[in-house]
Structure 1
């Protein structure tokens, strides 16, 4: 047997072994896959309407307005070469740098907390934008976006409590609350006047030293003083800001007679700003795939995501969404004529 043949016989198993190892060694990549979609005009797992209204007539008509989601590979899970390749060849999945999906110096708890805060904010902004579209004046306010599991505010303040006064001074911006709490580094009580479910309450808290500063253990966020109560019964496991546009369209539909969708299945995505503008989101291709799987007829794409959908040819109509107002008008136009010209990418 020649030396070359002997070398080949020895090398071949080594190559196979090394190739096998390469396929399973973790790489700095993560993935997005299509997630479930949720019909905001439908009912939750308890058979209750997802949109609950108290103080205004609610109209539960035919049709579906769905917000879409993506499923990211788990925190701490880095794809192997084999996993990355299998997802890369799947047109409905995306392979991304791990640090893009799970930013450095964040924990699983950080991600979950941030997702919950974003979901709360997106719902409240959606309510305000829908009500503004209906002609209501909706004053902005400072509210509780999150309460720490451990801290002075636990069981005393609740998410969506609106701050009216702090130590007797009217609250107009979040910085006032932060600065007032810091003045109580001597262990004295800070007095908070809050609005909760149309009732004003006084809460007194003793700040604790957290990371060297006196704090009460809450995250502050943008809130509103609504003319009546609107509650969205969304699965608490779902987080993030990208359902804002669809929340707002569904709320508008529920507060007006007749079906905004004409009985059709409409889906979409987009982070909603307080002025009604629709912002970009991640995972647009996976969200379109998820909506297509649910039989949606039309899908709203944030204007800034239009370059991401070039070349796609899904079995649903893609409509560019710049503002909630424009999206509503486009939907009404489409209901009247499915072949009408609509804003597109």
Structure 2
């Protein structure tokens, strides 16, 4: 127990106060990213709902990922934008706990949905004849529900572990949101052991889902290489290309955040930007630009809109 310390009732998010001269610039840039992220993800969800041709497991998983990432950004970025404009950065302990719970839960859900998307491609390429029976829309819905349940179950364990004790000492969180490492440091009890346990849970979740994706693509690659025609190989690879790129970006940035050694607060803040701001922005962009079905659906919707306007 850290002796002679006052028990805390709220926190202050230090955020980007390390760089007061560029906070307005940060606000403009992050607001632009956030707006484009919302537009991209909402467009994917609307197109998937509007075009019956996209009512397949592949696009239902993509729509579920877009919805999850929309919620994911809403837990962090609006609060971060407000803190860039106003000097009061206080957040209650309960508010901090809720933010961490939803951030970790939605982050875990994203990882599981990306894994399910890899499994969907595995079934489509390695078991094409049985695919319509194995992966129906109902099965897809149940898998997405399990992804949400799994992500938030892990998040609940981590959040309870972090917030089960009192906090004392400085109430300054050296981050722009309630990042678990930054919050654990303020625990009245020994924070080192708790940090290790929470890190192990997070890393296990990341590595577990990533290794499952790698395993599915090992089977996919072995199947594609046996396809005799070059056109067939190219078609098979094209259906996986966007997913592979998003997986590499998502897990690459996440590994930097959770596997790197502890550093100063300002460095942690900057390193977390790609994972919380850039990755959700790139995902809908990559899936949309590299997908002919999505482009065709957009043309149909725009065509109907033009016809109605006339």
TM-score (norm. length: structure 2): 0.27
TM-score (norm. length: structure 1): 0.25
Richer in helix (by share):
2
> Who wins on radius of gyration, i.e. which is larger?
1
Richer in strand (by share):
1
